[in-house]
Amino acid sequence: MNLSLCPFCPLLCDDVPALALRDPAATAPPCPRRRAAVARLAAAGEAVPRIDGRPASRDEALDRAADLLAAARMPLLLWAGGDVAAARATVALAERLRAGLDLDRGGRPAADAVLRARTPLVLATLAEVRNRADLVLLFGTDGTTVLPRLLPRVLRPSRAIAAEHLRTRRIVRIGEGFAPAEGVEDIPCPADTLHRAAAVLRARVKGHRLPPSPLAGRDDLAALAEALRTARYAVVIWHAAELPPPRAEPVIEMLAGLVRDLNRERRAVALPLAGGFGGTLEKVALWQTGTNVPLSFADGAPDGEPRRFDGARLAAAGRVDLRLWIGAGVDADPPAGPGPLIALHHPARRPDAAVALPVAIPGIHTDSTLFRLDGVVALRARAVTPSVLPSAAETLAALRRRLDR
């Protein structure tokens, strides 16, 4: 059987038949995200560039986009998805424009980026979690919203290097609204009290006495804290996009502190989930600039500070007069915001943009290199169907050539 790499989520599953990436009815490991993405792509009509909603030639659209970029005083490049080649071209264009560069987080704060910038964090690889974990804590997420195959591929695989770890592994979810899952324990907790639950867990792990409160008196949280404290290899998983925005940063900071506390006597790691392929841009930006996104080239050199250059904050403050959205392979529309929008978009979409440029999907229409969720492994995805659409990297390079002229 001809197996391919599935590019529709950051797990990059490598056990999918190539036919299942073209035909939603083909036999393949069950995944609603892959099936929906393939069905939408199969039903898409001809994708053409557009200027203010009107069809245009590619050269006309590129010329108009270059004019808008050249006239912008503070452009913002927003990354929603793409491969390594597109990420390299994005960083190069941001430098050429002296622009801001950030991930499209759907308007949510850059909580994970803020945490990484100010505190050390022990991160896990997917292979470590699959093979070594004896206790997995999913905090505020069940993981399947963004990664439908997280359980069968990573947390509950059919086999692992150490089979005894699979037999004794505990998976616990804290939150609300989870669909039942075999072999998974649930601890109910309303979303608006997750920050308090995280604080209770950390305090109990450290052996602190707690003042009386409804959460402090819960036996299930006390038992979980004891299990974390005695676990041989604990994994704490969260997804910033699923945490309540006002509390996302304190929750993540508390969970990071919990992991650090556990590491004083045992082994514990964190696994933040990413909703898209933000990790690909993060890795490329780091090795090309020495700093992580969000960052700015406004002074001619890369300057990375997650609060100051958070794209959502810049846009809300009126400091952005043009946005360039890179969404190669992302079946979504760009977020609303100030100023004209240039969108490099999924061929099945028609975003409301000053200039809309459909691009090929990495790993479907083009051979591509993508970073997996954990950011450790870069994998090569082979094209499974031809397309006349240019790649995002080619489109960004064409824009830069026009600017240079």
Predicted confidence band at 229 (pLDDT cuts at 50, 70, 90)?
very high
In this structure, are residues 146 and 243 in contact, taking their beta carbons and an 8 Å threshold? Answer: no
315-366 pLDDT, tens per residue?
888 889 999 999 998 888 898 888 899 999 999 999 999 999 999 999 999 9
CA 124 vs. chain centroid, Å, equals 16
At residue 33, the pLDDT reads 92
Output the six-digit token pair for 361.
């999907």
pLDDT, residue 117, reads 62
> Residues 9, 239: contact at Cβ < 8 Å?
no
Burial class (CB in 10 A: 0-12, 13-18, 19+), 285: buried
Find out whether the peptide bond into 188 is cis, omega within 30 degrees of 0.
no
Q: Are 99 and 74 contacting, i.e. CB atoms less than 8 angstroms apart?
A: yes
| pTM (2 d.p.) | 0.91
Cβ 194 vs Cβ 173: under 8 Å: no
Tell me the residue type at 274.
Answer: A
Q: What is the DSSP letter of 160?
A: -
Domain ranges of the chain: 3-39, 49-111+277-404, 123-262
* Host H or E run for residue 395: helix 392-404
Confidence of residue 107 (pLDDT cuts 50, 70, 90): low
311 near 102, Cβ under 8 Å? yes
The runs of H, that is alpha helices, within 175-242 are: 194-205, 219-230
Cα 396 to the chain's mean position, in Å?
21
Q: How many residues in total does the chain contain?
A: 405
Mean pLDDT of 181-201: 93
User: What span, in angstroms and rounded, lies between the C-alpha atoms of 284 and 289?
Assistant: 8
Burial 38-64 (b: 16+ CB within 10 A, else e): beebeeeeebbbbbeeeebeeeebbbb
CA of 89: how far to CAs of 71, 285, 300, in Å? 20, 10, 17
| CATH number given to 49-111+277-404 | 3.40.50.740
Rg of the chain taking only CA atoms, in angstroms: 22
Q: pLDDT-derived band of residue 53, with 50, 70 and 90 as boundaries? A: very high
Band of the pLDDT at 141, cuts 50, 70, 90? very high
Is CATH 3.30.420.40 correct for 123-262? no
150-159 burial: b if 16+ Cβ within 10 Å, else e: bbebbbbeee
Cα 160 from Cα 193, distance rounded (Å): 35
The dihedrals phi and psi of 268, each to the nearest 5 degrees, come to: -145, 145
Average pLDDT over residues 218-247: 91
Are the C-beta atoms of residues 400 and 92 closer than 8 Å to each other? yes
User: Could you give the CA distance from residue 322 to residue 97 in angstroms, rounded to a whole number?
Assistant: 11
Q: What pLDDT was estimated at residue 111?
A: 67
pLDDT tens for 212-224 read 888 888 899 999 9
CA distance 148 to 370: 19
Residue 382 has pLDDT above 60, yes or no: yes
pLDDT on residue 276: 63
Helix (H) / strand (E) element for 386: namely none
Pair 307, 318: CB distance under 8 Å: no
Q: How confident is the model at residue 69 (pLDDT cuts 50, 70, 90)?
A: very high
Whether 37 contacts 6, CB under 8 Å: no
Sort residue 318 into left (φ over 0), alpha (ψ -120 to 50) or beta: left
Cβ-in-10-Å burial (0-12, 13-18, 19+) of 195 comes to buried
